[in-house]
Amino acid sequence: MRVIASYNIKGGVGKTTTAVNLAWLSSREGRRTLLWDLDSQGAAGYCFRVQGRAHGKRLLRGKSDAADIIRSTSYDGLDLLPADFSYRNVDVLLHDEKQPLNRLQKVLKPLKQDYDIVILDCPPGLSLLSEAVFRAADMLVVPTLPSILSLRTLKMLIDFRKEHAIKDLQLLAFLTMVDRRKKLHNDVIESSLRAQSWMLEAFVPYASEVEQMAERREPVAAYAPHGRAGTAYMALWQEVCKKSGLSPSPQSSRSC
């Protein structure tokens, strides 16, 4: 089972949009996929029309099993572990645990035989929950705006990973909300940043179909697969699979 986190220190960069679309694309290829919404706003659950009950405290303290909370979506092979408003206190809950950084791993461990891919939709910030995500995930997929502040927080994340010697955590960033009409966006795309080993070639454009996702409550790649954003997310997922060593074949994905 591979665990991929859609994460960024900065908010408003498209983490949930990324998580929802990658989870849908994973399941479409035949992988048994679980999307765990870790954000108290519950946006991923909203997009899949799944509402969570107040379970965060019991789940993170080991008093509830994830399997009892997981809900199916309307898409075959795609399940959701929904968030609820109690997740706003998740750092406090983790702080009270003896081994807080291992708590997410313990929740996921019993699910290894049930899923090929787990995708974590993470809230912004650099917190105790973030460090627990770093411990539980195999890879961080980091949506990054082509702006000075967003690139600055990306550097902070890369420096944090290096300083704390988190060697087993693969980090892959990509540019999102790209508007080719803006000089800064074009400058970033054409800069040496794109040549970094941790920067993906695929980027997601600023497109109206992305803004419709919350209204339609379904993945962009599902309702507009041939649009600019839909094809961009497909290219992004293919590159993530390649970088992580995932087979593109649904049949072979059962052995992940």
As a dihedral over the C-alpha atoms of residue 22, residue 248, residue 242, residue 8, rounded to 10 degrees, the angle is: 10
Average pLDDT of span 30-57: 89
pLDDT confidence bin for 98, thresholds 50/70/90: confident
CA–CA dist 14, 23 (Å, integer): 14
pTM for the model: 0.91
Residue 256: its pLDDT value, please?
A: 39
pLDDT, tens digit (0-9, with 9 covering 90-100), for 230-253: 999 999 999 999 998 886 545 444
**Rounded percentage of the chain residues whose pLDDT exceeds 90:** 67
Side chain identity at residue 56, one-letter code: G
Which CATH superfamily includes the segment(s) 2-141+207-255?
P-loop containing nucleotide triphosphate hydrolases (3.40.50.300)
pLDDT-wise least confident of 120-134, 219-233, 237-251: 237-251
Question: Is pLDDT of 254 > 50?
Answer: no
Average pLDDT of span 56-81: 88
| Higher pLDDT pick, 255 / 75 | 75
Cα angle vertex 137, ends 86, 239, to 5°?
120
Provide CB contacts within 8 A for 2, sequence distance 6+.
116, 117, 118, 138, 139, 244, 246, 256
Residue 248: its pLDDT value, please?
A: 57
Output the six-digit token pair for 204.
């997601």
